[in-house]
Amino acid sequence: MKSSMKACESGGLPCPYGDLHIYYIQGDADTAERPMGHDFIGNWMEDGFSFLFFSAPSDSIVEKLLADRKDLALVDRYTMSYADWLGETPTTLTLGRFTVSPPWETVDLFYLPCFGAYHMVLDPGVVFGTGTHPTTRDCLDMIEKAMQGTDVQSALDLGCGTGLLSLAAAKMKCSDVLAVDFNALAVKTTVRNIGLNALEDRVRAVQGLAEHYIDHPADLLIANIHYEIMAKIIVSEGFLKKKRFILSGILNSQAKAVEAALSLHPVRIIEHRSESGVWHTFYGEVLDKP
């Protein structure tokens, strides 16, 4: 007879995100040291533009920012639902041995789908990466496979996004995980998710360029990242100092170039997976150390 007692890691809180009020600004509107009000969600800065997210209209705050910073200009403003921005409504999902849930949904740990399953609480905020994208699912599967060996104890996650893959590596057996993203809001989101899973002793998140961190010592490299960055890191000396690697986020037209670059190195591709011939993921190992 099943026990009626429940062990829940998340408390079924209300979803904190409703309509998003987004201000699209030309220029790097660094808000780190600036009071932005209690409705402020975050600032997505990329390629010389900024997206300021609020949970309520905040014209006066943005107008003051623009008055103080003459180098900034308001391009447009939008109001949309949280689901429309993410392209989905975050909810609990099971991916292999991993169950991922937002903090506003209750998860009963007695009913995880399999023995040895892992539960991760993930608040994506306004950053993409909840686990539904095929490259994320493939990376999670490859992380499971990498952890079956005895030589993987640490990981480097380049392009961490929400931090999901870093959390997965730490939940299994990596005691030292470094999560890296160039986007400051992604790093802030990852830090929040590290705390939600009480993994501060295993995972660190930093802002920076992937190519600047490829030399960081780690047994496993996880890179679900743009091809332009991928092409740089797989020809670097730091890449060959890893024991295993997971490369993903690669489109069909780019997969042959990645294979060609890897063929010039002492590496073995253990598995090459393609999702409908569009997205590609490579899992492999470095055979010889330079």
d(CA 6, CA 259): 48
d(CA 120, CA 171): 8
Residue 59 CA from chain centroid, whole number: 30
The tokens for 115 are: 């023995």
Residue 249 to residues 64, 133, 140, 257, Cα–Cα distance (Å): 39, 10, 13, 13
pLDDT at 241: 95
Q: Does residue 115 carry a pLDDT above 70?
A: no
d(CA 95, CA 56): 34
Q: Does residue 112 carry a pLDDT above 80?
A: no
DSSP symbol at 249:
E
More confident call, 217 vs 16: 217
pLDDT at 98: 93
Q: First-to-last CA distance in the chain?
A: 57
DSSP symbol at 128:
S
Edge-to-edge strand ranges of the sheet holding 267-275: 203-207, 176-181, 154-158, 220-224, 244-251, 279-286, 267-275
pLDDT at 6: 39
Percent of all residues in the chain with a pLDDT value above 90, rounded to a whole number: 82
d(CA 20, CA 78): 8
pLDDT band with cut points at 50, 70 and 90 for residue 209:
very high
Closest CA to 65 of 77, 82, 80: 77
* Average of per-residue pLDDT across 220-234: 96
* Cα Rg of the chain, angstroms: 20
* Average of per-residue pLDDT across 250-278: 92
* Average of per-residue pLDDT across 88-98: 91
Q: Does residue 4 carry a pLDDT above 70?
A: no
Q: Does residue 2 carry a pLDDT above 60?
A: no
pLDDT at 7: 43
b/e map of 198-213 (b: 16 or more CB within 10 Å)?
A: ebeebbbbeeeebeeb
pLDDT at 12: 61
* Average of per-residue pLDDT across 235-258: 95
pLDDT at 3: 32
The residues that bridge with 177 in the sheet, in sequence order, are 155, 203
Alpha carbon dihedral 169, 117, 163, 62, in 10-degree steps, equals -170
d(CA 68, CA 267): 53
pLDDT band with cut points at 50, 70 and 90 for residue 155:
very high
Q: Does residue 46 carry a pLDDT above 80?
A: yes
Mean of the per-residue pLDDT values for the chain? 91
Q: Which range, of 103-107, 120-124, 192-196, averages the lowest pLDDT?
A: 103-107
- For every residue of 155-224, DSSP letters joined together read EEEES-TTSHHHHHHHHHT-SEEEEEES-HHHHHHHHHHHHHTT-TTTEEEEES-HHHHTTS--SEEEEE
More confident call, 290 vs 127: 127
d(CA 250, CA 229): 11
Domains of the chain by start residue, with CATH: 19-86 (3.30.70), 129-286 (3.40.50.150)
d(CA 92, CA 86): 15
pLDDT at 111: 67
φ, ψ of residue 231 to 5 degrees: the values are -60, -30
More confident call, 140 vs 109: 140
pLDDT band with cut points at 50, 70 and 90 for residue 148:
confident
DSSP symbol at 108:
B
